[in-house]
Amino acid sequence: MFYREAGQFKSSYKEDQAIFPILQDRLGVGLVLAVAFFAIPLFGGEYFISAIMIPFLILALAAIGLNILTGYAGQISLGTGGFMAVGAFAAYKFATWTMVIGQFEGTMPLVMTILLSGLVAAIVGILFGIPSLRIKGFYLAVATLAAQFFIEWVLIKFGWFTNYSPSGIITAPPLEILGYVFSSPAEKYLLTLSFVVVLAMAAKNLVRSHIGRGWMAIRDMDIAAEIIGFKPLQTKLSAFAVSSFFCGVAGALWAFVHLGTVEPEAFGINRSFSILFMVIIGGMGSIMGAFIGAAFIMLLPIFLSNVPPMIGWDIGVDMVSHMEFMIFGVLIIFFLIVEPHGLARLWSIGKEKLRSWPFPY
């Protein structure tokens, strides 16, 4: 039921608290999901699905995890790649662990494997999040950067994590759920999409809950948040735990679905920085911004590699790489100074225009 207040049309409190409060928003999300679940698997080529859509979804999930920590809770982290590595190697250990339950003996189910890997990453995230209780800003960024290098070193140094593989690179097990093996690119894409959609919806609800309000209160003014009842210890560590859980699941999907191998080099410092760029460009404090930033980071190299030759300007592979860094640098400076909400701000402006239509104010 709608009513008029101060010249504007407002919805009821219950409708405003809905996860998608306006009709146009619900229609847009429904259309995107329909295209993602039906159109892309049917009409998308093998290269498009394997090389673009699957890594895009997994990186978007990792960006959601970092956005929860940095965008919503205000805790800077440069160790995202390390937490993804924890999830990947934990998933491998769980997948190769033989379960014995009564008369049943076999490997752990895939879904449980991936979720437990996220749980292990959450525990590691809590351990490395403890310094956030005493330090913040640049010093916290350095602490999480140290966590990135420490995790990489541990995974390479101790052979137990790779089942003592000489090369340190191990093959991921088959993707099997209830006897069905996900082998084709379309099947792997749908598996990844299912995880991402469920976790993205969970994150969307979580940031709107009491826990999410605590994160944002600590981010905006931690002393005032503590005065009104939010406990910094639980609030900050919960942000590290949830963020690391998402990154751990993303790492397991990256190793099992995208690469097919589990290797520390896939989760190096460059991975951490690229995900941070996604959050900054897409928009801090926005679930949609994680998807927008991941899409931008994925599509920019493709754009630079294909569009200039089409207009007769052959810039070469090296120049494409340099132009990527230059564009990323300019955009990061621009968004940090001018628009901290990133490209997601454009989405928000569009939603507000639709919400007030046809009675603009």
Is residue 175 helix, strand or coil?
Answer: coil
In the chain the first and final C-alpha atoms are separated, in Å, by 20
Q: Tens digits of per-residue pLDDT, 134-145?
A: 888 888 888 899
Widest pairwise Cα distance in the chain:
71
Rounded CA-CA distance 4/31 in Å is 30
Rounded CA-CA distance 300/328 in Å is 10
Where along the chain do its domains lie? 46-356
For 238-258, what is the mean pLDDT? 95
Inter-CA distances, 23 with 187, 230, 257, 351, 358, Å: 31, 34, 35, 10, 14
CB atoms within 10 A of CB 166: 7
Specify the CATH number of the domain 46-356. Answer: 1.10.3470
Inter-CA distances, 162 with 86, 169, 233, Å: 12, 7, 34
pLDDT tops 60 at residue 231 = yes
Rounded CA-CA distance 61/70 in Å is 14
Q: Tens digits of per-residue pLDDT, 308-344?
A: 677 767 666 667 677 777 887 888 888 778 777 788 8
Task: Find, among 24, 1, 124, 75, the residue nearest to 357 by Cα.
Answer: 24
Task: Identify which has the larger pLDDT, 39 or 316.
Answer: 39
Rounded CA-CA distance 32/13 in Å is 27
Is residue 261 helix, strand or coil?
Answer: strand
Q: What is the pLDDT of residue 3?
A: 46
Residues in the chain: 361
Cis previous bond, 173, omega within 30: no
Is residue 107 helix, strand or coil?
Answer: strand
The position carrying tokens 């209830």 is 178
Tokens matching residue 101: 């339950």
Task: Find, among 132, 143, 129, the residue nearest to 78 by Cα.
Answer: 143
Q: Element (H or E) spanning 100, and its range?
A: strand 98-101
For 210-236, what is the mean pLDDT? 89
Q: Tens digits of per-residue pLDDT, 170-215?
A: 788 888 888 888 989 999 999 999 999 999 999 999 998 899 999 9
Q: Tens digits of per-residue pLDDT, 40-72?
A: 999 988 999 999 999 999 999 999 999 999 999
Please list the residues that pair with 357 across neighbouring strands: none
The amino acid at residue 62 is A
Inter-CA distances, 170 with 88, 96, 160, 199, 260, Å: 11, 11, 12, 27, 9
The set of long-range contacts for 137-140, using a CB threshold of 8 Å and a minimum separation of 24, is 137/76, 138/76, 140/75, 140/76, 140/77
Rounded CA-CA distance 329/314 in Å is 23
